Structure 1
């Protein structure tokens, strides 16, 4: 069984994704969020702030894949917290998705990438929950295509 942690603000779209993930008997799903939401009984819920490094590190322990749901405006700041937590917990695979469609903050995305790369964190940054669902085999939407020598998050997750 693969262990999956979703960390970030949970809205109705991400709740649908969580519901679909919870129906997969091959996944143990944990949600780490400050949001007060109803989750399926099979999902472990941890209510904390995503920027709390200690709490996030504890939530990441023994996880195979961490999916961070991050608004663009907080991307650079959250990347530092994610990098610290991932390094502290033995480097689970990290998939980050922006939870909005803001394209006019390229500096935030560039800073986040630089922070994670400098920390030596294995990560993928994708656009939206549709890409996350697609990468996790949930929804048939377009997702990044990886070349023959590249390994995407699912290939690493499946190992």
Structure 2
């Protein structure tokens, strides 16, 4: 699975949680300088770089783009170009905000995808990704603390 986009603290935690799922091999393509689990292949690149994004999309079965609404049209244009070059037929685009003041941005992005004849899902927030994938991130191991000693139980 390829995850594209800037990672804020919440998205970074979500990606780290996804990395615990043994069925997923994660690649993250982000302009953000973040520390990720060693099991995640991380590429630090600008999301609007068509060449870099195309290379990152090669051999990926699932492509998820985390995009703020204000950059939706530009990012979708780059995604469509990269998807066409790699044969990717399906994209999940998750708006990373709930900004409803830019309906033209959403409309133009959907039109670009329709013209490209790609299967796509538009979702808002990270929760919808797990729903569409049919899996939710597995949290890291939880070790209970004994309330009387403040030490790990067991």
TM band (smaller chain): 0.7 to 0.9
2:42 matched to which residue of 1? Answer: 45
2:144 matched to which residue of 1? Answer: none
In 1: Cα distance, 2:130 partner to 2:100 partner? 21
1:134, CA displacement in angstroms? Answer: 2.8
Q: Is the 8 A contact 1:65 1:92 kept in 2?
A: no
Higher-RCO chain (CA-CA 8 Å, sequence separation at least 6): 2
Between Structure 1 and Structure 2, how many residues are aligned?
A: 136
1:63 matched to which residue of 2? Answer: 60
Q: Is the 8 A contact 1:67 1:95 kept in 2?
A: yes
**TM-score, structure 1 as length reference:** 0.82
RMSD of Structure 2 on Structure 1 (CA): 1.1
Q: Is the 8 A contact 1:72 1:105 kept in 2?
A: yes
Q: Runs (4+) of structure 1 moved beyond 6 Å?
A: none
In 1: Cα distance, 2:61 partner to 2:130 partner? 16
Q: Structure 1: where are the runs of 5+ without partners?
A: 140-159
2:81 matched to which residue of 1? Answer: 84
1:100 matched to which residue of 2? Answer: 97
2:136 alignment partner, one of 135, 138, 157 = 138
1:153 matched to which residue of 2? Answer: none
In 1: Cα distance, 2:45 partner to 2:88 partner? 21
Q: Structure 2: where are the runs of 5+ without partners?
A: 138-154
Answer with 1 or 2: which has the greater Rg.
2
